[in-house]
Structure 1
């Protein structure tokens, strides 16, 4: 099961034994009283209020503390009442209760028409003392105490929300005084001070952790979502307003998280408004809404991503349409994800941080979507990563199962599921070494099975994103989280429509945490968020330009600064410990890669400076160096894991033997790493190309090796070519290999390494190259006439004599093909030509 549930509270486990020990549980043993014990509310401190019927049908109220695992009896009514709502203040001195006194039939039969149908009471319970009537009305009411922030002493004042089915919400201010013997009594002798919080609402949800009230007000065919924030040291203020295209036909007030009415949950109206508002720590604000579809084999639900400015409506074709199974969709807040769950049908994990592409959300059906502990339908999500099953009276901590996610990643046959599972593993679980190792192993086995994305690119970019973004606020809006620009795939059985919606209006001052982050997200949307992410278009162009100009222009101050950036990055990389050096990556000079490193540092720094000026230059410098160094470390981490998995040792870099099957597998993975890096213009660790070429020499036949070199898959490096020329003897096969490599060396590299190979073939190549370059230098000079009679050399071989005379004349005029010729000159050319000619004629040269 993808969602892992741990029971933090269960009535049968945590309450019934305590009731039985006190003789209060006898009435719970009969099946007709199965609803006699049920959860009424969950407070901000996690304490759970429940009610049960005693032996004489008295109505009791109890409190369970999950921290101490202790139960506490709060109050008892000497009547059989149906508790609708209940809340206790933070100090457990006051209890607010609302209940239904009589049904309509009972009032008629007992001639009690003048007696109110519903009653809301405020009771002093420390000690049990006075009872105050808050409301005596014919419409239902809900009660909820406000809770102060942790550590703030508010023992002399409590505030209470009262929600009426007549569609208004009031706040009561209750002051208490401490008398002798630790008694606490309500100070106000008359009416309690009250303030109207909201009017004309049709739906409301209480956010107990953040002390926020979301409510909906109808407006023509649309609705307006509002939010009131309650402050610990102030009163309250309206802070958000958002116009949503949600039509509400039901006139009955719908409440969420204002307690849990067991009887009401058993009779959910099939077309009632199923609406939830979820927030995330990163400033996400989602409105989740579903109504039963008129089509029996389909269900539709919408997610309004208010922090992104658009709405996605999903229509799901159901596999089984038994009427008794089709209840409303349950929405569960997992912080980074929202889960839409229809038992027996599907589980849809929606990525609320990056909801733009469907491939970042995970849609599961059948056995993969099963959640054993949630087979009932009275499911609530009162807290982040918490599920309350009102029917059986259990509260669970819910999380995504790492093992189930890896199982799904390894066994899924669809790219959309693979990509969603990969992102979930990297971004939801953050960085764990074991998880990272298993993902790398999966990548190494599935390089050819993923068609719509490159798993190496996604692993590197998503890992960098989750490692770097927690460091600095708003950094998540500036760094890329994926290599994909779009995704045109489909999810079988699901259609999705996206609509632009108006951004919510915020009115706040000096707010922190969520509201500040939400406002930052909205500002990003206003300024076209996709354009804020760093991309490599300019980097690739400048890298190519500077690479081509290397031979033509001297090193400038700009280039010196670029290479200084690279040096700083490599100083971070040098912290690899000895165990990590299992892979024989050489700390060598690599002009191209160091140039790319330095350019990435410079351009990423400029990008962040444009948007994060308030962070400061020193901090941005550190962020950028960490980013590029982490990039290199991730490539090295991939190499280390595949190296270890294929049982390769650290001394494998030699050419005396052919490569093993494990080496060939590693070579293939390195080729894919190179392809991924080239696709996103990412630098590679020093020595990557050397090791890659070395494995290619060991594993590939010559024609394939040369094909890879000619097509840029393998890069000739000085370290590898030198070792190749020095270590291999001059057998016919090795001569062919060396000759093929030497012929393909770039001029600058060839000048450095050709002299290592003491062989006639190489001497011929060097002589030919020397003559060619010398004559090319002569093209723009004045034509020179040569007189053979002036030559001091013998005339037995006239073509060679003429060539040497011409080259000598050119050398005497100061024309040099290179600033540094080493030992190559006209004499060298003459000797090489004679040796080669004698060899071709089968003669011995002396």
Structure 2
């Protein structure tokens, strides 16, 4: 099972039967591959492969057997820069060529093939790279070329060309080409082809400093970033990354040379990945500097098989949302760039899970996002994370850290799809009791909402919660992690757009305590409880009307989404408590976003908030629908004449866990959830368990379910016990609505109690001033009852009848009901 899969994008074949092996020397911004091969006359050829058209183009040929070090072609394919080694040191000595330069760098006119100009003739190696303007720009008469020298400097050449007759392109300047020094005294440099950036490190005082130069299409270049790194560099040679590929030279590089790469992400992430030397043979150590977060994490991995002769350097791959640290045959570590704070969001794989087919054992590069270049074979691969393998890994995982990392990777990196969500819901329904350090339902809901909503607007990812966990104290076997706070990088760019704007936003969030920016439900829970406990007469305030109006907007918004017939009986009744929670969540989330996104505007924020809460309800409904469908349940859950099946009990258990997850994060539930839950509970649970669940708040009594229960069940002894137990637990307001649906003495008891209570309240309010007359018409000598009925009769005689619409309810009705109930309790027959 492979989490990371490779898809072959380019495989360059030999151009002739007699040609030698091909070598890739560069990948340009447009994705075109520059490669070399030796012809049958030992001529050195340079070709260009276009992966879109799958066509090869011959660029140039040297009538010598040369070792090409670096090569680049401009975007118009009119100029070719080539750096090659003329002779080795042994060849120079044997041929007495001490005065001849060891390396040569040429600028060649190739459209058509014309003049050749020498740029460098030195004894130090030089790498070349043309700058590429925006892809939509028209043909230009100016090209800019970077030269990176082994003497630890980088300079830029400005090349102007003119078009002559017969479409010839000729370099305009006859003298020396204008040049500008870009960087000096560097010990490491990396070229970012897609974004036209140069990252490099220079020793500065007691520590090394990472800098970045941004090249612009129509301007020169600017230094835009500076960051101090606590990385010790023992090898003083210049190390270049993504400046083409020299297979022979890279084989000569010592294994302990600086293995460092810089990766950026679309969301403004900036990471420095560095493999560190370890004195322990069976350990590998590497650090990831999350510069956009302000801390560094150093990982030490204990290797399962410490076969030192087979170990290679840790390879770092850029997967945009993740950075992968890969050691063939040992481990594959996927590190979450956006949320690296908790280790459980990093997916650490070993053994067969960490195997990546087609990746070579030799050195590999990641020149572009989600690509791997095998320079030896002339192949380039697209790298992706397999959702199928992730789901399989999720099912087979035995540790919470693996489950949580795989769950977040599937939802946030692969992206939520209908099929993927279905598979995750099925996994959750089977593993509710296996996760001990996190709630999978909470993580699924929160992470899915985060994934759906954050692409709508920049900076929204810093304000919405992405997890239900506040911390995680678990461990990953074989891996130790040390976290160090580092200084934030200094940006030297203003009014920037794209990556630099997002990076600056990330840095500002760190400065202002990012964890406090995420929406939290503490205030929501407190306000909801306060409103839920208020008296009925206080529910007509303007504030409360606004809250309920918010809930109506959410439900109407949801109705426009879900056009299919609902499999589960949800959204078919009003639920005051849940509507109250919906409306409050809308109100408080809106206030939270308005505090930090004032520039967006109220209308847009209103839309975002409605989408968020509606998506939340839709996700819970989606979970119910998938569970309903999986267990093949129907509307029989509201038929109380039979006991529930094993499938219904399983669904009841899942609904209980959904309720627990929602209560834990104070999330609203779809209207009808409690009715459905109670209906399943009545069918599946023994009476004492059912009542216990009601008393502890697991099951909520709803008008719809109780009314149906009272109407549908006959008055057998067992059913009477169930009904009476339910009736005695009803809140007064709900009881007044449903008692009329049960034709039973218990109903009379309730009405009588209500009548007595109202009369005595009037008596307590001083509305009865005359003495109570004696009543001699009561046929039964039961002194406490006689006194009560005399008192009530006196109140009635004053015209204070509280139940005028119910003529059959009076003192006589109270008396008869009390006697009948007393005789039933004593086991006597009442006549």
Q: Please indicate the TM-score interval, normalised by the length of the shorter structure.
A: over 0.9
**Deviation per CA, 1:23-70, whole angstroms, max 9, x where unpaired?**
xx4142xxxxxxx42110000000001111111211111111101101
Residue number among 81, 104, 108 corresponding to 1:119 in the alignment: 104
- Residue 767 in structure 1 maps to residue 765 in structure 2: no
Give, in whole Å, the separation in 2 of the partners of 1:825 and 1:675: 46
SS at match of 1:523: helix
Secondary structure of 2:599's aligned partner? helix
Is the CA contact (8 Å cut-off) linking 1:376 and 1:391 kept in structure 2?
no
Residues 457 and 773 of structure 1: CA distance in aligned 2, closer, same or farther (over 3 Å): farther
Paired residues for 1:137-536 under 5 Å: 137-536=122-521
The alpha-carbon deviation at position 511 of structure 1 amounts to 1.9
Are the aligned partners of 2:5 and 2:357 in contact in 1 as well (CA < 8 Å)?
no
Aligned to 2:4: 3
Partner SS for 1:225: strand
Q: Is the CA contact 1:221–1:247 (under 8 Å) kept in the aligned structure 2?
A: no
SS at 2:362 equivalent? coil
Give 1:57's aligned residue. 42
2:762 and 2:768 in contact (8 A); partners too? no
Counterpart Cα distance in 2 of 1:842 and 1:37: 102
Q: SS of 2:629's equivalent?
A: helix
Counterpart position of 1:739: 724
Pair 380,816 (structure 1): closer, same or farther in 2 beyond 3 Å: farther
- Is the aligned partner of 1:722 residue 2:720? no
Name the SS for the 1:374 alignment partner: coil
* Contact persistence 2:317–2:370 (CA under 8 A): yes
Q: Is the 8 A contact 2:335 2:347 kept in 1?
A: yes
TM value normalised by structure 1: 0.95
1:119/1:136 contact within 8 Å kept = yes
TM-aligned CA distance change 1:73 to 1:757, over 3 Å: same
Does 2:32 match 1:47? Answer: yes
Match of 2:540 in 1: 555
Structure 1 residue 551: Cα displacement:
3.8
Match of 1:33 in 2: none
CA distance, structure 1, for counterparts of residue 315 and residue 71 of structure 2? 24
Conserved 8 A contact 1:26-1:55: yes
Secondary structure of the corresponding residue to residue 364 of structure 1: strand
Call closer, same or farther: CA 1:819–1:227 in 2, change over 3 Å: farther
The alpha-carbon deviation at position 72 of structure 1 amounts to 1.0
Q: What SS class does the counterpart of residue 584 from structure 1 fall into?
A: coil
Alignment pair present for 1:570 and 2:571: no
2:646 matched to 1:661? yes
| Matched residue SS, 1:569 | helix
- Any idea what SS the aligned residue of 2:714 has? coil
Alignment deviations for residues 110-169 of structure 1 (CA, whole Å, 9 cap, x no partner): 111111111000001111110000000011100000001011024311100001111111
Instruction: List alignment gaps of at least 5 residues for structure 2.
Output: none
Superposition CA RMSD, Å: 2.0
Q: Matches of 1:154 and 1:558 in 2, distance apart? A: 63
Q: Aligned to 1:496, what secondary structure does the other structure show?
A: strand
> In 2, Cα distance between the equivalents of 1:173 and 1:665?
72
Counterparts of 2:427 and 2:798, CA distance in 1:
65
Equivalences for residues 749-828 of structure 1 within 5 A: 749-771=734-756, 774-775=759-760, 778=763, 789=774, 793-794=778-779, 797-811=782-796, 824-828=809-813
Partner of residue 591 from structure 1, selected from 576, 581, 595: 576
Q: Tell whether the 8 Å contact from 1:160 to 1:171 is kept in structure 2 after alignment.
A: yes
Give the match's secondary structure for 1:623. helix
Q: Distance in 2 between matches of 1:840 and 1:142?
A: 101
The aligned counterpart of 1:31 is none
**3-state DSSP of counterpart to 2:48:** strand
- Per-residue deviation, 1:265: 2.4
Q: 1:340·1:349 contact (CA, 8 Å) conserved in 2?
A: yes
Q: Does 1:676 align with 2:668?
A: no
Change (3 A) 1:286 1:840: closer
- For 2:775 and 2:114, the matched residues in 1 are separated by 131
State the shift of 1:839 in Å.
4.7
Q: CA deviation at 1:391?
A: 2.8
Rounded Cα–Cα distance in structure 2 between residues aligned with 1:726 and 1:317:
67
Give the 3-state SS of the residue equivalent to 2:13 in structure 1.
helix
SS at match of 1:311: strand
The secondary structure found in structure 2 opposite 1:588 is: coil
Per mean C-alpha deviation after superposition, the further-off stretch among 160-169 and 655-664 is: 655-664
Q: Answer yes or no: is the 8 Å Cα contact 2:201–2:208 preserved in 1.
A: yes
Between stretches 190-199 and 212-221, larger displacement belongs to 212-221
| Match in the other structure for 1:15 | 13
For the residue of structure 2 that corresponds to 1:177, the secondary structure is: strand
Contact 1:584 1:651 in 2 (8 A): no
> Which residue of structure 1 aligns with residue 90 of structure 2?
105
1:733 and 1:342 map into 2 onto residues whose CA distance is 67
- Alignment partners' CA distance in 2, 1:733 and 1:311: 66
Query: 1 CA distance for matches of 2:575 and 2:402?
Result: 39
More divergent stretch after superposition (574-583 vs 61-70): 574-583
* Shift in CA distance, 214/787, structure 1 to aligned 2, threshold 3 Å: closer
Gapped regions of structure 1 (runs ≥ 5): 29-35
How far apart, in 2, do the equivalents of 1:820 and 1:83 lie? 103
CA distance in 2, matches of 1:2, 1:818: 72
Instruction: Compare 582-591 and 534-543 and name the one that shifted more.
Output: 582-591
Find the residue that maps to 1:50 and give its secondary structure.
Answer: strand
Report the Cα distance in structure 2 between the residues aligned to 1:761 and 1:744, rounded to whole angstroms: 13
Question: Is the Cα contact below 8 Å between 1:778 and 1:815 reproduced in 2?
Answer: no
Aligned with residue 687 of structure 1, among 660, 668, 672: 672
What secondary structure, in the 3-state scheme, does the structure 2 residue paired with 1:771 have?
A: helix
Structure 2 residue aligned with 1:630: 615
* Deviation (angstroms), 1:591: 1.4
CA contact (8 A) 2:6 2:357 kept: no
Q: In structure 2, how many angstroms separate the alpha carbons of the residues matched to 1:822 and 1:195?
A: 103
* More off after superposition, 762-771 vs 263-272: 762-771
Partners of 2:147 and 2:385 in 1: how far apart? 36
Conserved? CA contact 2:276–2:287, under 8 Å: no
Cα offsets for 1:420-475 (capped at 9, x unmatched): 00001111122210001000000000000000000000000011111111111111
Give the whole-Å Cα distance in 2 for the aligned partners of 1:500 and 1:842. Answer: 78
Instruction: Identify if the C-alpha distance between structure 1 residues 186 and 457 changes in structure 2 by more than 3 Å, giving closer, same or farther.
Output: same
Deviation at 1:815?
A: 7.0
TM value normalised by structure 2: 0.97
Aligned partner of residue 292 in structure 2, secondary structure: coil
- Structure 1 position 789, deviation (Å): 3.1
CA separation in 2, counterparts of 1:797 and 1:322? 97
